[in-house]
Structure formats: C-alpha cells, structure tokens
Amino acid sequence: MTPDVELRQVVKEFSAAGKSKRAGYQVRAVDNVNLQIAQGEFFAMLGPSGCGKTTTLRMIAGFETPTSGEIYIRGKAVHDIPPFHRPVNTVFQDYALFPHMTVIQNVMFGLRMEGVPRQEAQRRAEEALDMVKLSHAAARRPNQLSGGQQQRVALARALVKRPSVLLLDEPLGALDLKLRKEMQAELKTMQQRVGITFIFVTHDQEEAMSMANRIAVMHEGHVLQVGTARDIYERPVNRFVADFIGETNFFVGNLVEKRDKVGVVKLADGATFEASLPLDASSVSEGKVTVALRPERIGIFPPGEEDDMPREVPLNVLEGVLYEMDYIGTDTRYTVEIAGTTLVVREQNVDYEDNYDFRLGQTVKIFFPAVSATILQE
C-alpha cells in the first residue's frame, strides 16, 4: 500500500545569519531523513529541542523547502506544491485563533476562504465542532474558552477541511499537566474515530508513547530509530535512544563471546553476564560495549536468600554494595555499585512489609534475565 507520507533522503540546511564569523555557514537541521508513514497511522516525531522534528514537519506542510531529497503525500511528489494546495492541515502550539470571531466563525474561516458556500461551510463546521464536543460553545469567542477548549477549536478548524494528513506541532505544550493528559486521551480517540493520518511532533516521551502507533526518535537532524513504543523502550538501538526514553542503567564491559541471540559481557571485576544482541548482531564486535538495563527489570536480595529468586527463566546474578535506598510510594529505589558502575534498581511495593530488611553498605545481589539487558550498537 502506498504510504500517506514518504520522505526520501530529505536534507534541510540553513545559513547562519548575522555579522559573526559563522555568517553564511550552512547548518544542517535535517540530515538524510527517510520515513514512510502509513495511511491512518498516528505517527510521532520525538526528540529534544533542536533535533529537526519541527523542521521536518514544516517541510511536509510546505512551509519549508528541502535543500535536497523528495517528499510524497499519497504517492504524489509535493516539492512544487504550495502549502495551501497540499492535502494537509496543521495545528500549532499557539492555536492562532481569531479573537474577534466566534468559535464557529473560526472553524468556518478556511472553508469560506476556499469559496465554500456559507450554508455548506456552516454545516461542516457544526459537524467538526460536534466531533470535538464543542457544539455548545459555537457562539463564544476564544477568550471565553479554556486552554483545552481552544486547542479543540484549533483541531476542529483543521479537521473541517478534511485533510488527508493532519500535522500537529506540539499542540499540547501550552496546557497544564492535568489537561495535557486529558487531551492525550482525547486526541488518540479522535484520531481513531476520524481515521486521518496524524503526524505529531513532541519532545515529551510520555505523550509519544501513550498516543502513537509508531515513533521516530530524532537527534541532531537524524532519525535514530523508528518503531512502536514497546520496540523503542525494550530494544533501543543506541545509548541516546535508551537514555532519552525512560530511566536506564548503563554497563560498560567487554563483549567476550556471541551466542545466537545473546552475548557474554565481562565486567572490570571479572564477573560475566549475558545480554541480548541487537537485531543486527553483526553491528557489534567483541571488545568494549555498552549495555542498557532498565531499573524495573532488576531484582535485589541479600546474600543467602537465593532460594527466593524466580526460576521461570535463567537469570544473571551479580554482586555489589548497596549505598542508597529510597521509599517512593509505588516502589523502592535502590542504588547499588557493581564493578565501579552505579545501578538503580526499582522494586514495586506490592507488599512492602514483605520486602527484605536491607542495610546501607551491605553486600547485595541483583538478578535479571538476559532478555532485559540490551547490547547497544555503538
């Protein structure tokens, strides 16, 4: 099936302005990006400020022109098509509603500019407002609405034109935490209901992971990894992705052996453990490697309590020293030093009274299966 949106080797460079020594210097904001976004997909572009995600979105919208590369929407090249003729619409962070117009006038505005008869434009605007559950506010002005309601008006104004693709540039950034979480659920439900392809730009990993079918993690103009939230969390391809998505421990050791889907890693104190190789096992060679291990995937117990370990799968067991312990409600956070590496262990407080009675400074053992540790492609 033809992707709704496809980027082929897209590059965007900007010239540094001003009178400094760097004036005229080409800054590469987007570097050889290749993406395919399926019809009806909720796709997120995730990364820190300056990673190139908004520039990529603006090129799809037509507000920026690629320096090189090709962009296709539903199989049609759009390089020479201006923004107002592309089958896309954009929702910005600041909403950009007209303060002197009512809600329904704001929603109708784009249709009226296209010459749609008033009666037809009003009918479609009413449908769009009903879609975002704001029919009751049609006669109000933007300053009479909450931030979340204004955001929904901006969505209705974009959806009323029935675009093939809806582009959302950090549309929840101006909302408070509680309202942002409510709107995350509403956006996901709305996208499923209307079936339009959503491309959502955000720096918030929770937003991306809770809403998107797939995520592209970007850094310094590059797409580092594309996959589902589970793929990216469980099998990050490199240290940046592992560190950016959730809390992660990193081991540095030597890969001394490769066996099928796992590798044997040796630490500075001579201890060894098994970890999952990347999907492309040839991308890592024996020698120094970094291993990612999520805190919640590690168990901890005092020496002498080995009988309490789960036995469902083979486990790695390593010994270290406990030097910090914090009760934080849902779980207890332990900090353990192993072979010069500091690891965080998080155990859920299912029944806190049954937790071990640890003491700071004591020797402890941690355990984890090989599948929970990932050798990174670095």
pLDDT at 198: 95
Q: What is the mean pLDDT of the chain?
A: 89
Of 207, 211, 171, the C-alpha closest to 192 is 211
pLDDT at 24: 60
pLDDT at 180: 80
Please state which architecture CATH assigns to domain 247-375.
Beta Barrel (2.40)
Residues of the chain with pLDDT under 50: none
pLDDT at 155: 85
CA dihedral 45, 48, 49, 50 (to 10 degrees): -80
pLDDT at 275: 94
Q: Pick one of 3.50.50.60, 3.30.70.20, 3.40.50.300, 2.160.10.10 as the CATH number of 5-239.
A: 3.40.50.300
| DSSP structural state of residue 51 | S
pLDDT tens-place string over residues 85-110: 899 998 887 778 899 999 999 999 98
Question: 98: Cβ–Cβ under 8 A, 6 or more apart, which residues?
Answer: 105, 106, 109, 142
Q: What is the 3-state secondary structure (H, E, C) of 263-281?
A: EEEECCCCCEEEEECCCCH
pLDDT at 296: 94
pTM of the model: 0.86
Domain boundaries defined on the chain: 5-239, 247-375
pLDDT at 178: 80
